[in-house]
Amino acid sequence: MNTGMNTGMSTDRVVRTFIEYFEERGHRRITGSTLLPPPGDPVLFTTSGMHPLTPYLEGRPHPLGRRLVNLQRCLRTTDLEEVGDTTHLTVFEMLGTWSLGDYEGPQSLDWGYDLLTEGLGIDPGLLHATVHGGDEQVGPDTASLRVWQDRGVPVELTEEDNWWSNGPVGPCGPDSEIFLWTGDTPPRSTPTRDDRWVEVWNHVTMRYRRLDDGSLVPLPQRNIDTGLGLERLASLLQGRSSVFECDVFDPWRRLVPALWPLDELSLRLVYDHLRSAVVVIGDGVTPAATGRGYVLRRLVRRVLTVLWRDDPSRSLHDLPDELLTHTLDHFRQNGETAGVRRLLLDEERRFRGLLERGRQVLARPRFHGPLTGEDFRYLHDTHGLPRDLVMSLRER
């Protein structure tokens, strides 16, 4: 991706510009939460800025009022397979704004357009919008459509792509997404047909709750929930071709390739997963066989698998302290780097041991042919070898 744009704006300045813009319009800044949702919440990690605000979207009065703005760290495991492309990170930060039963969607889009073009200096000719075109349950979002038409921004109408929900049930609603052209040619085509249109900001009119039977009921109030992926927008504003090249990854790009010479895709995976692992540990998670701890375990093991592919002597022991400190500081976490490193190294030791045991067990004649369900169960229950690990050991 390359917009040919370079406003030279640092990530910190994007955050300040965004927050101040909305504070000037009556929004109060709330402190972002950790990656861990409150007890009893069905999701493992906070996946979007709205997530900690669910009770307020459902009608509980927020102590700071009806207009809010924040910066929230998020983790999306659904994006794990996409890591390494130019726009997805496992842990990322989302700038968000909320109208809790206050102003409506057109106001939010107007502000969004002005902030992107005037506040952040984006050429309006590089923007494209998408809008909910209606389905069997909800009519077309004509109010948003009109805003974009009045502004002269091209619009595409879709169904599923312009519907936002946090899960199969709960608050949800139609959205209007703003895309930025990142191709080398003048803009062409539309966001659903050309992935050089990169989504930067989603404005959801959150006014329904989906029930277990799939039906929609109105929420007690009509809310607006917007979310903007910080690293993605910052890298575009900095004229960089991927999220891994924006300023927050500077120390990673300076230190890791010299330590572990890897191809670009592997480097991206190492930056993304190690940084995510540090943040997750910083929020109090430890590696485990289930739940959040298992996500952490997978992140660390994927890094080690990549590192050991060409050189099994590589170790997280060599990870520079600066990267741990930089990450904990960036996410405003007070953990000690020594504690984070200890957890990473414990996990490395455990994984090394498991791989050795796995190789020995799989060398037995019984496991030379195709494996049955019974074999997988035995390998797991008796030797602690999960199915995906067995599969990858047999591929070598």
| 162 in contact with ligand SER (CB under 6 A) | no
Shortest reach from residue 362's CB to ligand SER, in Å: 42
| CB closer to ligand SER, 171 vs 287 | 171
Determine if 34 is a binding residue for ligand SER (CB under 6 A).
no
72 contributes a contact to ligand SER by CB under 6 A: no
Among 227, 282, 335, 386, binds ligand SER (CB under 6 A): 227
Q: Does 96 bind ligand SER (CB under 6 A)?
A: yes
Cβ closer to ligand SER: 46 or 266?
Answer: 46
Closer residue to ligand SER in complex, CB, 225/283: 225
Minimum distance between the CB of residue 97 and ligand SER, rounded to whole angstroms? Answer: 8
- Residue of 164, 197, 252, 260 that binds ligand SER (CB under 6 A): 164
Chain residue whose CB lies nearest ligand SER: 227
Q: Which of 34, 226, 235, 276 binds ligand SER (CB under 6 A)?
A: 226
Under the binding rule (CB under 6 A), the answer on residue 202 touching ligand SER is: yes
Rounded least distance, CB 67 to ligand SER, Å? 15
Is the distance from CB of 74 to CB of 92 less than 8 angstroms? yes
Kindly tell me which residue out of 35, 44, 50, 355 binds ligand SER, with binding defined by CB under 6 A. Answer: 50
With CB under 6 A as the contact rule, the residue among 93, 141, 156, 225 that binds ligand SER is 225
Binding mask 203-222 for ligand SER (x = CB under 6 A): -x------------------
User: Which is closer to ligand SER, CB of 191 or CB of 227?
Assistant: 227
Residues numbered 289-348 forming contacts with ligand SER, rule: CB under 6 A:
none
HEC states along the chain?
CCCCCCCCCCHHHHHHHHHHHHHCCCCEECCCCCCCCCCCCCCCCCCCCCHHHHHHHCCCCCCCCCEEEEEEEEECHHHHHHECECCCCCEEEEEEEEECCCCCHHHHHHHHHHHHHHHCCCCHHHEEEEEECCCCCCCCCHHHHHHHHHHCCCEEEECHHHEEECCCCEEEEEEEEEEEECCCCCCCCCCCCCCCEEEEEEEEEEEEEECCCCCEEEEEEEEEEEEEEHHHHHHHHCCCCCHHHCHHHHHHHHHHHHHCCCCHHHHHHHHHHHHHHHHHHHCCCCCCCCHHHHHHHHHHHHHHHHHHHHCCCCCHHHCCHHHHHHHHHHCCCCCCHHHHHHHHHHHHHHHHHHHHHHHHHHCCHHHCCCCCHHHHHHHHHHHCCCHHHHHHHHHC
- Minimal distance, residue 182 CB to ligand SER, in Å: 19
Contacts of ligand SER in 232-251 (CB under 6 A): none
Residues that bind ligand SER (CB under 6 A): 48-50, 96, 164, 202, 204, 225-227
